Structure 1
């Protein structure tokens, strides 16, 4: 994959992965070139009652730390150690490798000013050049992206589901770069990726296709719907890929690139296969291509290392096929844009619930310790 020009990142982080040396091994053998986290990943790690989290929560609570301060300490520990493990990859890389991501609290996604303030706080807390602060690509997140890029904060824009949403994200990145150039500020330490969520779209669209098939008047109509299952996510990703190439590898970005600006790399996220009827590496093999990143959950990474085989650039040669698929979906009454808007709302909500559940675990464990004292 790396020879093809695509970086593989791991979509997981926990203390056990770090302490055991497993993450260091994956990095050293060239299986992983970056790491992403999100509130659900942190919730699963901290609430799992394993590794060193219970001991650390108790230690920090004994010091009088609040639940919010305890989470900061735990996140800082895991993120900073991961950043340090990736430091050599970052130094050797082309500006696309060696990063770890930490997300702003999802509850802030509807507040531009609060998102900017929290992203700056996390940037200063971790103090690593290979950190990405994750900002959701919500309507309120778009101006935050511009502001943070202008201020020199490297950003991973997350929860992107559609071409119009992606286009707005790319434009915000360019505006931030332009503001830095106008202010005479350096660009050499500034990086960004745009995380396009993939498999969730198939899950959502497939349900509608099956509902429409069940209500179809005849077998031919049913088959028309059912043959489109599993096609929407990749077709949509290729639509975004086409826009990405236009935004950053042509005349639009040329003047900024000539002044030292880097492209905002496209990152394929949510690439674990959710439907067992599909290949367990469907969204890895079908989205292989240059100038891109694929962040994978551990199960998908292991599956790819076991039986995956990159077969060249699967992106540019399939743009026409993807376009036909999108037309077929539209003819079948499927609106990718409507699904994308709902998935954005659902994604923000799911991450917010995970964050709240994680904080509840920290509060409960802190309170239990205080009760025993």
Structure 2
């Protein structure tokens, strides 16, 4: 039986990637710093996924275990692994990079064969980024081994996995829809046969389709919903004013994606409608505070709001609805979210214009800069 290490034993790790690996015949070792989670995985060795949709059902995941990602057993586990995946969040990739590097050095010393490491994060080029971070900790021999034997295929992942409470603390609730698309040419050795994993030789198009449509619409729904006092994504998207604004933003990003990558326009409109239906799922309580967290990251120049707005602007297409989404993100005020606190402090210290520059990277003379400031001030009224 092949062995996979899934870095990140949280809801996404258990409810999405780790589950697909287990269902595909892998012995799955979850690696995490959360001792409570790891102890439960070791003791129970199984959990249940609850499909929270109109067609409700459960799926048993068994034959799994856990290991501390900062403990003494992680390097030997990496040496023996056939596949490594992550679902730790983009900001944690650089933290686990040194551990992966130690495991890779040990693999090289042991003469082990090919290994593929797939970062399954909401981040463009996450695996490539992880590779760069890992290589900073490698010797020359380790870098040579990576070049010959370690693949870092980029991927696009899509599944809503909200907080869930069940009898077994390991149980997780998920929506029925999921999509995992992986860059086939980047694999080293035979491509693993994993149920639910789709392969492509043009991943950038699919990564941006998901980031600029699903993630963009999700974030804008949360920011607009928070502004009007809604608690969940479902409540927010059922607000007619917010629904219209979110659909406008997704259709503007969609027009840019169709022009840039040649997606079929009718198929992309169906994709948008499917996303709207997912947001309205009454069985998933997706809180706006969870979806809206880390606004600084989500306002990044290449991320889910400014990224599609820039693409649309460069193609001469409308993008005003996306910029209103950016303004809504600047209004997002969650005292328990450090990045939200930081944004509000930027606005206080440097004004809205300065905060736009700091958070988005747009210079003061960029055409989109003034439009975001104007949209922010209009919301204030």
TM beyond 0.5:
no
Greater RCO between the two (CA within 8 Å, min separation 6)? 1
* TM-score using structure 2 length: 0.31
Greater strand proportion: 2
* TM-score using structure 1 length: 0.31
